[in-house]
C-alpha cells in the first residue's frame, strides 16, 4: 500500500510516557528544572515582586541582597529571564542587574513597570534607598537592556516620590507629618510633576482613625474604568474606599463611598483586585491559625457584600498549621482568584504555597512546595489564563546567608496555540492547532497564501511566537514577540509547533514523497545508541540535520551514511533525515 510518510523530526515529537494535557495546579516541567528556576544564591536576599512582559513572556524579578555577609552594603536587583526560565544574557550580568546608583550603602528595588507592550519597552523601577542616612523613595528609568536613562528626572531618577505606577501616572499615598493625615496625590510619570487635574491633598481621616495601606506601592487598585480603590484598617475593622478617576470619593459606592468589613470575618483589608465583571475581591490582613478563617471576600459593583460568593460572601479555609501569611492576589479573565504566601509548620519551619479559588468562592487547587524548609511566596504574575509565575525564596538551613530565590511556573489550563496572520483567509479568525500533551501542537492540510503568520497563545497578541531570523521559513526556532514568519509560497501545509522549544515546521504537502511506508520504516535504523564517536545509518540518506534539545542546529556533515559526533557534548540530540526516496524521518540519539 502506497502512502505518504512524514515523521516530524524529534524536536517536535518529544516522547513522553503516558503523555497527557497539563492539569491546573501542576508545575510546567518545561520551565527551568522540573518547573522551578533557582536564581543565584545571595546573602540576606529578600524578594519583592515579579512581573511579566506579556508580548515576549519574559519574567522580571526584583528585590535586594547584601554584597557580602558583613551587610556593609545592600543593593537592589532586577532579574530578567525568558519564557523558558533562561537568564537574559544581554541584561546586566547573566540576567541580573544590580541597582546601587543612588546610595553607597543601601538601595532596594520593589517594582518594575513596563512602559509599553513592546519587547524593547523601557522599564520604570521603584524602590527605596538611604541618602544621607535618611530612608528615601525613588523612581528610575532604564532601557530594556538595563541601561539607566539619565535624561529621566535628575540623572535617571526622581527622588523622594513614593508611588504606584499605572499608565501615565504615579499614584502616591503618603503620611503628612504636619497634619497626621494621609495625602493622596497623582503625578505625571514623564517628569514627576503634580497632576493639577487630580484632587490632590489630605484624606479626611487622622492616621489614628483610618490607615490605607501603601506598602511596596501595590495596594492601590486602579480599575479598568479609571476608578481607584484604597484599602486598609479603621480601628479593628477593615475599610475599602472608592474614588473616581480624578480622586474624588465615589459616593455611589457602599455607604457614601466607604465599605466597612465585618471585623469578626475580616478585621483589615491589605489588598483588593477587581474582576472582569466589576466585582471586587478583598484580602484579609489576618495572620494566624483560625478555624474556617475568612481569607477573602467579594463585593458587588455597588460596594455591598456579594453573599452568593463562597460562604455568605467569603472564601473560608482551615489552615492545617500554626499560622500563615498571604502576600499577593491575581485574577484570571474568568474571575478565578489566585493567591500565594507562606504557612508555618512549627519548629521554625514553613513552606510556600499557591492556591486558586473558583469564581464561586470555593477552593479549586492548592499546592505546597519546599516542605520542611523556611520558604515563602511573595508575588504572582499571569500570562493570559494559561500560566502563573510565582516568586519567593527558600533557605533550607534557616541561615539567611544562603537564601535561595525561586521562580515557579504553574499550569492554569492546557495552553491554546493558534495560527494568525495574513496568510489565513481572515486575520480576525485564528486557526487552532491540536495537542494531546500540551507540548506538540499540529494541524494538517492547512491552506496558506503567501503572506505572514505567527503562533499565538490563547488567541491573543499579548503573547505570541514569531520569527527569530530573517530566514525563518519553512522551519526554525521561533522567538517570542518576534517578527512575523513570512510564508513564501502558497500551498497546503502540515504545520507543527513545539511550545517547549519554540521549534516549528511548515511542510508543503506537494513536496512530500510517496513511498511504501512499510518498506521505509523497516529499512530505517541507526547505531550505536548511545554513541561516542559516530552514528551510522542503515538506509542511504540525502541529508541530515542534528539539533540540541533546545533547538540549536549542530554541524553534522554526512559522510558514507555516517555523522561524526566526537566533538558533541554529552546529552540528547535530535535529527531530521531525508532518505533517497524523499521521506523525512526523525528520531534521537544519546551522545555518551
pLDDT, position 507: 84
Other CB atoms within a 10 A radius of the CB of residue 369 amount to 20
pLDDT digits (tens, 9 = 90+) for 246-287: 999 999 999 999 999 998 889 999 999 999 999 999 998 776
CATH node for 417-508: 2.60.40.3620
Q: Which residue has the higher pLDDT, 20 or 290?
A: 20
Residue 306 has pLDDT above 70, yes or no: yes
Please provide the average confidence, as pLDDT, over all residues in the chain: 88
Q: Which of 330, 320, 315 is nearest to 351 (CA)?
A: 320
Q: CA 349, CA 338: separation in Å to the nearest integer? A: 24
Q: Which residue has the higher pLDDT, 138 or 43?
A: 138
CB 98 within 8 A of CB 76: yes
Name the β-bridge partners of 555. none
Q: Same fold for the domain at 417-508 and the one at 526-591? A: yes
Element housing 351 (H / E)? strand 349-357
For 167, the grid coordinates are 499608565
pLDDT, position 238: 95
Which DSSP category does 24 fall into?
T
| Mean per-residue pLDDT, 112-116 | 94
Q: CA 69, CA 25: separation in Å to the nearest integer? A: 37
pLDDT, position 403: 86
Other CB atoms within a 10 A radius of the CB of residue 348 amount to 8
Domain boundaries, the chain: 417-508, 526-591
The model's confidence at residue 17, banded by pLDDT at 50, 70 and 90, is very low
pLDDT digits (tens, 9 = 90+) for 189-241: 999 999 999 999 999 999 999 999 887 557 899 999 999 999 999 999 999 99
Q: Which CATH architecture has domain 526-591?
A: Sandwich (2.60)
pLDDT, position 512: 52
Q: Judge if pTM exceeds 0.85.
A: no
Amino acid at each position: 500500500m502506497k502512502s505518504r510518510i512524514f515523521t516530524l523530526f524529534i524536536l517536535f515529537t518529544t516522547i513522553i510516557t503516558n503523555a497527557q494535557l497539563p492539569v491546573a495546579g501542576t508545575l510546567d516541567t518545561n520551565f527551568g528544572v522540573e518547573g522551578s528556576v533557582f536564581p543565584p544564591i545571595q546573602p540576606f536576599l529578600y524578594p519583592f515582586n515579579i512581573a511579566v512582559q506579556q508580548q515576549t513572556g519574559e519574567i522580571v524579578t526584583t528585590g535586594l541582597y547584601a554584597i557580602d555577609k558583613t551587610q556593609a552594603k545592600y543593593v537592589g536587583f532586577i532579574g530578567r529571564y525568558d519564557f523558558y526560565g533562561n537568564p537574559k544574557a544581554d541584561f546586566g550580568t547573566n540576567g541580573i542587574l544590580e541597582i546601587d546608583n543612588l546610595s553607597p550603602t543601601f538601595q532596594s528595588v520593589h517594582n518594575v513597570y513596563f512602559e509599553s507592550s513592546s519587547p524593547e519597552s523601557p522599564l520604570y523601577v521603584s524602590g527605596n534607598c538611604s541618602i544621607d542616612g535618611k530612608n528615601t523613595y525613588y523612581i528610575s528609568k532604564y532601557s530594556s537592556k538595563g541601561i539607566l536613562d539619565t535624561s529621566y528626572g535628575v540623572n535617571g531618577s526622581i527622588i523622594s516620590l513614593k508611588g504606584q505606577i499605572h499608565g501615565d501616572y504615579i499614584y502616591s499615598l503618603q503620611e503628612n507629618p504636619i497634619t497626621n493625615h494621609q495625602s493622596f496625590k497623582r503625578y505625571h510619570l514623564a517628569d514627576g510633576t503634580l497632576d493639577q487635574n487630580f484632587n490632590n491633598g489630605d484624606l479626611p481621616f487622622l492616621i489614628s482613625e483610618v490607615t490605607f495601606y501603601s506598602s511596596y506601592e501595590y495596594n492601590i487598585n486602579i480599575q479598568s474604568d479609571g476608578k481607584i480603590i484604597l484599602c486598609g484598617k479603621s480601628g479593628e475593622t477593615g475599610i475599602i474606599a472608592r474614588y473616581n478617576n480624578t480622586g474624588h470619593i465615589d459616593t455611589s459606592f457602599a455607604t457614601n463611598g466607604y465599605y466597612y468589613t465585618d471585623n469578626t470575618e475580616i478585621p483589615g483589608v491589605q489588598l483588593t483586585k477587581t474582576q472582569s465583571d466589576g466585582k471586587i475581591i478583598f484580602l484579609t490582613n489576618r495572620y494566624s491559625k483560625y478555624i474556617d478563617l475568612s481569607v477573602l471576600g467579594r463585593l458587588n459593583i455597588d460596594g455591598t457584600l456579594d453573599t452568593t460568593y463562597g460562604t455568605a460572601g467569603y472564601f473560608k479555609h482551615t489552615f492545617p498549621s500554626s499560622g500563615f501569611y498571604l502576600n499577593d492576589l491575581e485574577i484570571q479573565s474568568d474571575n478565578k482568584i489566585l493567591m500565594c504566601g507562606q504557612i508555618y509548620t512549627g519548629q521554625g519551619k514553613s513552606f510556600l504555597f499557591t492556591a486558586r479559588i473558583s469564581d464561586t468562592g470555593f477552593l479549586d487547587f492548592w499546592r505546597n512546595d519546599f516542605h520542611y524548609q523556611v520558604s515563602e511566596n511573595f508575588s504572582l504574575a499571569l500570562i493570559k489564563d494559561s500560566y502563573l509565575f510565582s516568586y519567593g525564596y527558600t533557605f533550607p538551613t534557616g541561615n539567611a546567608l544562603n537564601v535561595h530565590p525561586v521562580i515557579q511556573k504553574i499550569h492554569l489550563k492546557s495552553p491554546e496555540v493558534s495560527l494568525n496572520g495574513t496568510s489565513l483567509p481572515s486575520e480576525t479568525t485564528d486557526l487552532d492547532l491540536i495537542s494531546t500533551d500540551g507540548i506538540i501542537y499540529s494541524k494538517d492540510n492547512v491552506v496558506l497564501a503567501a503572506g505572514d503568520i505567527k503562533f499565538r497563545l490563547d488567541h491573543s497578541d499579548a503573547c505570541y511566537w514569531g520569527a527569530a531570523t530573517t530566514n525563518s521559513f519553512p522551519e526554525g526556532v521561533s522567538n517570542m514577540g518576534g517578527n512575523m514568519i513570512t510564508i513564501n509560497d502558497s500551498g497546503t501545509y502540515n504545520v507543527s509547533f513545539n511550545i517547549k522549544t519554540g521549534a516549528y515546521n511548515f511542510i508543503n504537502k506537494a513536496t512530500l514523497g510517496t513511498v511504501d511506508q512499510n518498506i521505509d520504516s523497516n529499512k530505517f535504523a541507526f547505531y550505536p545508541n548511545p554513541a561516542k564517536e559516530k552514528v551510522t545509518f542503515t538506509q542511504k540518506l540525502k541529508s541530515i540535520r542534528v539539533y540540541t534539545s533546545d533547538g540549536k542546529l549542530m554541524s553534522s556533515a554526512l559522510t558514507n551514511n555516517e555523522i561524526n559526533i566526537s566533538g558533541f557534548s554529552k546529552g540528547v540530540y535530535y535529527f531530521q533525515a531525508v532518505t533517497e526516496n524523499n521521506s523525512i524521518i526523525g528520531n534521537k540519539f544519546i551522545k555518551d
